[in-house]
Amino acid sequence: MTEDDVRKTAFAMPLTSPAYPRGPYKFVNREFFIVTYRTDMDALREVVPAPLEVTEPLVKFEFIRMPDSTGFGDYTESGQVIPVRFNGEEGGYSHAMYLDDEAPIAGGREIWGFPKKLAQPRLRVEKDTLIGTLDMGSVRLATATMGYKYREADRTKMKAAVEAPAFLLKIIPHVDCTPRICELVRYRSEDVTVKGAWEAPGRLELFHHALAPVADLPVREVVSAVHILTDLTLGLGRVVHDYLG
């Protein structure tokens, strides 16, 4: 293989059998269960990187079921998104993400900078309750519940929420473990179709783990719980701030 061949072929690791294919990445029947809760403002300021600004003491704890996604397959994801502002634009900062499939872990980290780690999130219906759980090995990290399809939510508002801009801190290390890339990335979901949207009473419990500190943003009050079924395309995004530039 020549140097030109490498340059033409390379886009992901490993060179001859990449962990994921090139995009675009489309999702069919992507299901969101989102519990928005109030937490401590000082705790948020400790984890949100400038130049992002924390706007209010809220966190969105998300369970996302993805049964049909191009390139990434069938997997489930969970994590925390923090409402922020950047240059006057409101959006969400992905603080922590946990999922159960190697391809979207590798692709999410390498392309966008999603803060993904391996764990075991689950989303299921048990009689009249929608249940989200997150475990790392044998240790429970989070349990969330809401009434299943309790009442219809405004689909226009839910579509706007899914389409809202989101921000990521992409870090790629150099061979000496210093940052080779350290950038703020902005992306959004595109071609969004909301196929169903519901709201209901919800509850969320978080538990401590040394390597998955979701409970460092403690639950003070549950604000809302929503359940959304969508089709969408994950936009590739752009760099909006270079920490090394």
Q: What is the reported pTM? A: 0.96
pLDDT in tens, 77-108: 999 999 999 999 999 999 999 999 999 999 99
CATH number at residue 103: 2.40.400.10
Q: Does the active-site annotation cover 117?
A: no
14 lies in some domain: no
Provide the domain limits for residue 217: 26-242
151 lies in some domain: yes
Contact 184, 240 (CB under 8 A): yes
Interval 177-203 mean pLDDT = 98
pLDDT value, residue 222: 98
pLDDT value, residue 230: 98
pLDDT value, residue 27: 98
pLDDT in tens, 3-32: 999 999 999 999 999 999 999 999 999 999
12 lies in some domain: no
Q: How far apart are CA 166 and CA 112, in angstroms?
A: 11
Given 8, 26, 60, 116, the catalytic residue: 116
Q: How far apart are CA 130 and CA 144, in angstroms?
A: 8
The mean predicted confidence, pLDDT, of the chain is 97
Number of domains, the chain: 1
